[in-house]
């Protein structure tokens, strides 16, 4: 198994040093880069491949939100996990809308951080329970969920969407055409009364349609 190449972007040097030490003790993990500067990180990814990025939110000069936006413009499939002390909905939703694949708190333990990295590396999403519970309490849709609202096939597609799978990956796994998957995706969004995959994930958690770690 190839090592997971990890980058850390955080403006606190002691925190970066601590995370680097912890992660490098885990078999299969290799921290290849860390920086306190979002602009330096953007320059780095233009030249060097990386599998997972742990991104702080508040940093001087270029925030984690702006750094994430710029990074995904360069590498759209880059897997970024927000690693932050912020537990409020505003910061979480802002980061999720930029396209991060995970959101984990700095107070999390080694096992949770390892789980987040492995889950996102393997194509899924990972959000700290505390964050998901806060987001799930929001009334994203006033429409109460009806158990018959989604067909069994739509539930299959929903589960894979919430795991971060692409339409092609879903089509391959469920033996469907990409066009059929896209039709299911559109119908699921309409039935859930949500606008995007981020809101769909929260709606699914709120209605106990997907499990969270």
* Cα–Cα dist 179/202, whole Å: 25
pLDDT for the residue 178: 92
What sign results for the dihedral spanned by CA atoms 61, 67, 73, 74?
A: positive
10 Å Cβ neighbour count for 69? Answer: 14
| Domain parsing of the chain, residue ranges | 4-136, 152-206
- Is the pLDDT reported for residue 30 higher than 90? yes
* Cα–Cα dist 7/54, whole Å: 6
Among 22-31, 136-145, 181-190, the range scoring the smallest mean pLDDT is: 136-145
* Averaged confidence pLDDT in the chain: 85
The CATH classification number of 152-206 equals 1.10.10.10
pLDDT for the residue 208: 74
Query: For residue 139, what pLDDT band results from cuts at 50, 70 and 90?
Result: very low
Question: How many CA atoms lie less than 13 Å away from 161 in the CB half-sphere?
Answer: 25
Q: What percent of the chain has pLDDT over 70?
A: 88
- In the chain, count H helices and then E strands: 10, 6
* Cα–Cα dist 83/177, whole Å: 36
- Strand runs labelled E in 96-206: 102-105, 126-127
pLDDT for the residue 144: 60
pLDDT for the residue 158: 92
CATH architecture group of domain 4-136: 3-Layer(aba) Sandwich (3.40)
pLDDT for the residue 211: 64
3-state secondary structure of 157: helix
Task: Find the helix packing angle between 89-98 and 129-136, rounded to 10°.
Answer: 100
Among 3-17, 169-183, 186-200, the range scoring the smallest mean pLDDT is: 186-200
Which is higher by pLDDT, 24 or 98? 24
pLDDT tens for 99-132 read: 888 889 888 899 999 999 998 998 888 888 777 6
pLDDT for the residue 164: 74
- Establish whether domains 4-136 and 152-206 are of one fold: no
Q: What percent of the chain has pLDDT over 90?
A: 49
* Cα–Cα dist 8/75, whole Å: 17
- Is the pLDDT reported for residue 88 higher than 70? no
């Amino acid at each position: 198994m190839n090592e997971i190449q990890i980058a850390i972007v955080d403006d606190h040097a002691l925190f970066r040093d601590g995370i680097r030490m912890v992660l490098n003790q885990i078999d299969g993990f290799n921290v290849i880069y860390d920086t306190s500067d979002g602009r330096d990180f953007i320059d780095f990814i233009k030249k060097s491949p990386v599998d997972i990025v742990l991104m702080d939110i508040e940093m001087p000069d270029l925030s984690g939100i702006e750094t994430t936006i710029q990074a995904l413009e360069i590498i759209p499939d880059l897997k970024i996990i927000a690693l932050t002390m912020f537990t409020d909905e505003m910061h979480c939703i802002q980061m999720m809308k930029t396209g991060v694949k995970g959101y984990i708190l700095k107070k999390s333990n080694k096992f949770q951080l390892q789980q987040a990295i492995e889950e996102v590396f393997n194509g899924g999403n990972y959000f700290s329970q505390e964050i998901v519970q806060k987001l799930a309490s929001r009334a994203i849709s006033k429409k109460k969920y009806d158990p018959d609202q989604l067909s069994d096939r739509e539930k299959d597609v929903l589960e894979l969407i919430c795991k971060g799978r692409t339409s092609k990956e879903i089509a391959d796994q469920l033996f469907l055409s990409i066009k059929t998957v896209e039709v299911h995706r559109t119908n699921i969004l309409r039935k859930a009364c949500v606008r995007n995959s981020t809101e769909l994930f929260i709606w699914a958690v709120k209605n106990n349609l997907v499990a969270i770690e």
